[in-house]
Amino acid sequence: MIELIVAALATWRLTAMLWYELGPFDVFLKLRTWIGAYEIPPQKFLGKLFACFWCLSVWVGLGVALVAWLWWYALIPFALSGAAILLSGGGQVILEEMNDG
């Protein structure tokens, strides 16, 4: 059961990083721009994928499931970060951004 909780929190955290955050040296922003997530409407498959938080979470979840199956301990830092952000109300920021978009 603990592995599932860790995987769920890590999936949320990684999806939020890729979909919303700038990242160090704006790496996530540059990635989203490069794949076309900011085109209106997005034309490329990855651009469409990154434009939708829910869609992106499915694909991130697949990757997390593979990591969890092989070595779930690698997901603990992401899960702890995700839990801290959610407990501090950071999930509300993502929800508001989704509703504005």
CB 5 within 8 A of CB 76: no
- Number of folded domains that form the chain: 1
pLDDT in tens, the chain (101 residues): 888 899 999 999 999 999 988 989 999 999 999 999 888 888 888 888 888 888 899 999 999 999 999 998 999 999 989 888 888 887 787 778 777 75
Distance CA 3, CA 84 (A): 17
Full residue range of the structural domain in which residue 78 is found: 2-100
pTM: 0.83
Exposed/middle/buried for residue 33 (C-beta within 10 Å: 0-12, 13-18, 19+): middle
Distance CA 42, CA 37 (A): 6
The angle subtended at Cα 71 by Cα 50 and Cα 8, nearest 5°, is 45
